[in-house]
């Protein structure tokens, strides 16, 4: 069924398809009886449940940040069987998306390229609206808020960046079940410089010093060199973050089967989907070795099946996330993958 619908959606620009999908989720968001019906059709095995960071996850299969940037479809997405959701990324200042077109498909690779750049209504607006319309615990699954740097804030002086992140953190911490600090999107100029050990220590140290009432995780890039990755992981351990989301999208175009002229015509942006999976697995494995057993690791990158999810868990992840796999796999993907994962035990 979804295969036919996807074929139709893929005939229109990816940005328009995303807007249509959001509209289609509106009844599921607003009507409890619709959500109950969908849950009955897409059951998640009880044995898939996971406990981590003091939170109960009905399934280890979550939705990655970037799909629901303003936390407007949380109840709908939870009803589809996701075990947790990451909304955002939100920034202290409301901002528009980067110029269109900014979202592209590579069907031959089951991949996406995006250069959206953190479009959102602003952290305070999103958090306030979420508290009034949904609220912590109402979705039935843990909900993380991802926070990032406002586009208008320069990297220097670093105090301005720290203040910008702190403003977002203060806005969302009372409504989030955990918070993800995004310093790794390739679509905000200069953002990835914050993964350098010195700047990361300043930023993350300030967030930890603020006193987090919820777990705090860092989202990292797959494009770090091994030395830079190790240095960043040491900072994560030193400042005592709760864990990592590994990984964000990649700037690499290696190993694609899509036509090279198509890839060149798309231009810049972060690549997600199966081509990212080998590197994401490497980063998860290295992070687990470096951080030890207590850190919570969320693996993300090209997960489409239970076997893919199992590979991330075997590499050291506690939880996993989908984004591109949801686009290509459809609304049944989270429960299907959860069932496949349980069957592999």
Q: Terminus-to-terminus CA distance in the chain, angstroms?
A: 29
Would the pLDDT of 5 be above 80? no
Dihedral Cα 219, 224, 228, 229, nearest 10 deg: 50
Strands (DSSP E) contained in 79-125 are 84-90, 103-106, 111-114
Q: What average pLDDT score do residues 175-180 get?
A: 97
Contact assessment for residue 271 and residue 249, using Cβ atoms and an 8 Å cutoff = yes
- pLDDT averaged over every residue in the chain: 94
Domains and their CATH numbers in the chain: 2-343 (3.20.20.70)
How far is the CA of 165 from the CAs of 99, 171, 215, in angstroms? Answer: 24, 10, 16
Three-state secondary structure call for residue 271: strand
Q: Mind giving me the DSSP string for 232-253?
A: HHHHHHHHT--EEEE---BS--
Q: Over the stretch 206-222, which tens digit does the pLDDT of each residue have?
A: 999 998 789 999 999 99
- Name the pairing type of β-strands 103-106 and 243-246: unpaired
258/15 Cα distance (integer angstroms): 20
How many residues belong to the chain?
A: 345
Residue 185: active-site member = yes
Q: What average pLDDT score do residues 193-203 get?
A: 95
φ/ψ of 102, rounded to 5, equals -140, 10
Q: Over the stretch 140-150, which tens digit does the pLDDT of each residue have?
A: 999 999 999 99
Confidence category of residue 2, pLDDT binned at 50, 70, 90: low
Confidence category of residue 331, pLDDT binned at 50, 70, 90: very high
CB atoms under 10 Å from CB of 15, counted, come to 16
33: preceding bond cis by omega (within 30 degrees): no
For tokens 């002086």, the residue is 157
Q: Over the stretch 85-125, which tens digit does the pLDDT of each residue have?
A: 999 999 999 999 999 999 999 999 999 999 999 999 999 99
The catalytic position among 59, 168, 185, 221 is 185
Q: What average pLDDT score do residues 50-55 get?
A: 96
């Amino acid at each position: 069924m979804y295969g036919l619908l996807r074929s139709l959606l893929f005939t229109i620009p990816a940005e328009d398809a995303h807007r249509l999908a959001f509209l289609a989720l509106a009844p599921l968001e607003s009507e409890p009886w619709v959500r109950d019906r969908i849950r009955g059709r897409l059951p998640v095995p009880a044995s898939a449940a996971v406990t981590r960071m003091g939170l109960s996850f009905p399934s280890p299969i979550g939705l990655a940040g970037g799909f629901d940037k303003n936390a407007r479809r949380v109840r709908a997405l939870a009803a589809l069987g996701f075990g947790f959701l990451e909304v955002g990324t939100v920034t202290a200042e409301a901002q528009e998306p980067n110029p269109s077109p900014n979202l592209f498909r590579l069907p031959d690779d089951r991949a996406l390229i995006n250069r959206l750049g953190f479009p959102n209504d602003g952290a305070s607006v999103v958090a306030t609206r979420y508290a009034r319309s949904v609220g912590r615990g109402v979705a039935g699954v843990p909900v993380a808020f991802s926070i990032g740097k406002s586009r208008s804030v320069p990297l220097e002086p670093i105090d301005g960046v720290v203040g910008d992140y702190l403003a977002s953190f203060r806005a969302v911490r009372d409504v989030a079940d955990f918070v993800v600090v995004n310093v790794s999107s390739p679509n905000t100029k200069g953002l990835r410089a914050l993964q350098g050990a010195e700047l990361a220590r300043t930023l993350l140290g300030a967030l930890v010093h603020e006193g987090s009432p919820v777990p705090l995780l860092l989202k990292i890039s797959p494009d770090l060199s091994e030395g830079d990755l190790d240095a960043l992981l040491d900072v994560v351990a030193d400042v005592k973050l709760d864990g990592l989301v590994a990984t964000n999208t990649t700037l690499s175009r290696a190993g694609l089967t899509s036509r090279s002229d198509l890839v060149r015509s798309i231009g810049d942006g972060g690549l997600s989907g199966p081509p990212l999976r080998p590197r994401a697995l490497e980063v998860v494995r290295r992070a687990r070795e470096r951080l030890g057993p207590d850190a919570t690791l969320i693996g993300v990158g090209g997960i489409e099946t239970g076997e893919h999810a199992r590979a991330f868990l075997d590499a050291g992840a506690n939880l996993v996330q989908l984004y591109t796999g949801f686009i290509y796999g459809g609304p049944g993907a989270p429960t299907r993958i959860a069932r496949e994962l349980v069957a592999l035990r």
